[in-house]
Structure 1
Amino acid sequence: MRAFVLPEFDVAPDVIDVDIPEPAEGEVRVRIHAASINGFDLAVAGGSLNGMMDHRFPVVLGKDFAGEIDAVGAGVTDYRIGDRVFGVVTKPYLGDGSFAEYVTVPTAVGLAKLPEGIDFVTGAGLGLAGSAALAAVDAAELSEGQRLLVVGATGGVGNQVVQLAARAGAQVLATAATEEATQHLTGLGAAEIVDHTDDLGAAVKSAHPAGVDVVVHLAGDPTALVDLVRSGGRIVSTIVPPGQQLAENVETVGIYAQPDAATLGRLGESVAAGDANVSVQRTFTLDEAAAAFDAFAGGTLGKIVITVR
């Protein structure tokens, strides 16, 4: 099969032929239709996880995927050949990935059935970003009318946070730097746009002198955001480690994406119901994967998806 792989450390990723994997016990094989890029993928490609995770070369890159089950391993009873699925490759090593024609994944975590009416490109953009966004909004514990600032709103996670928070009744402030980004985020439900290339703190304080209730921190220096939150408010971060507190009068909640079946099911249901959508900025073919990585590194409005078939 064709796959976009990291051949070894300090070698640029490339599309090559590798063996088609066979599902082990408790696994299914997914015939990939589409897969989306996350920051984690660029970190792996750049060698940033050298020494942190086991690398089984050639490492097939990619975590998020959507496709159809075409083989079932022993002991699997809740999925069958032909099921439309989406999810995240959650294996404890780097080697099996979704930027390929096929991938094997365990059914216990990182896999869910793709609701009818959701196409594969959309499904491919749900996994990691959607799981992180759900975790962030859950941790925010929003009440109707509360003010929530999303820092890093233009990426895949930020797009989902804006939609979910607005749906929860929050007054969403989102960071952006261009008119295109402003229109995009407003369309997703942001009530206010703040230019993060200028003085973000001054702009937020000018509009909300008492501070916002919650900041969702997805990019940049979190310590610079403490003064923007009211006393007793909260900073939810995908970057600050769980347990670390940035200030005494503001609670800091570090979160991670948890793409378990329940979380993925919630994501699929929210999109199927029209409560949220996946903003796909651009698609690339598998042979164009290197260009897709370059486009992602240059900044995105939403997701970049690699289509396999």
Structure 2
Amino acid sequence: MNDTFTWIITGASRGFGRAIAERALEQGDAVMAAVRNPQTMTDLAERYPETLAPWPFDARDSELARPLVRAAADRFGRVDALVNNAGRGLVGAAEEIGEAELREAMDLHFFVPAALVRAVLPVMRAQGGGTIVQMSSQGGRMSFPGVGGYSAGKFALEGWSEALAGEVAPFGVRVMIVEPSRFRTGFHGPDALAVADAGPVYRGVLAAVRADMTGADGLQEGDPVRAAGVIVDLVHRDEAPPLRLPLGAEAVERISASYTANLDAVRRWADTARAADFPDAPPSSRPIAPLAGPA
């Protein structure tokens, strides 16, 4: 791979997006920063006038995906890494979150990232490679009461991206799904975390979850600067990145526990599950791609 990369990063004005952009720029890469308000990138644009290009982008509007990718390719000549980072927390029970809020969350966390991937793949294929970084969450592998509206989009993104990894590997395009735990990105702040009005039915059921989610800002264990260093380093390596990267100790522990619990449940009910098959049917011979990611 080239030593100098061009990145497209959504949600680059703060949090993981900002940290990744700064790390990439510091080591000489070019960044197309897709942000709602380009003025939020003025300080970085002054420091890196040749290699940072802020671009107005609403991460809920899939129609803006192709113009963004074209602008990056026109400005810098190539796109080596797409980071689908823009996102927002959503807290509330299934009955408390309306359809409009749920659809907006799905646009933000799944449909627009998917549109950006479709837009960037022809560029990456033509240049012989690239890396797609999908910023998911530990909530993209396991969920809990009160965060279903958020996890729905992340679960969708992960399943779609797992299939994508096998489809694009023959063209030298890699996929890495990042699953962070709690990081000091502003994600839990009042301007980033949407909290549904607590109805009487679920007020007690979700009281602890609401308190934890709204009270965590500034206390999170994860350091976004260190996380950005990990991500940028993995993207720059010739060695393929992991398909899934739990990020932070809590993510490692919780996702590991989820895998174990699910495997235990599969084993417990395996005989019951097998009893649903025709007894004389031949076994499946469908090719299944390895989950370790493209080589």
| Structure number with higher strand proportion | 1
- Using the size of structure 1 for normalisation, the TM-score is 0.36
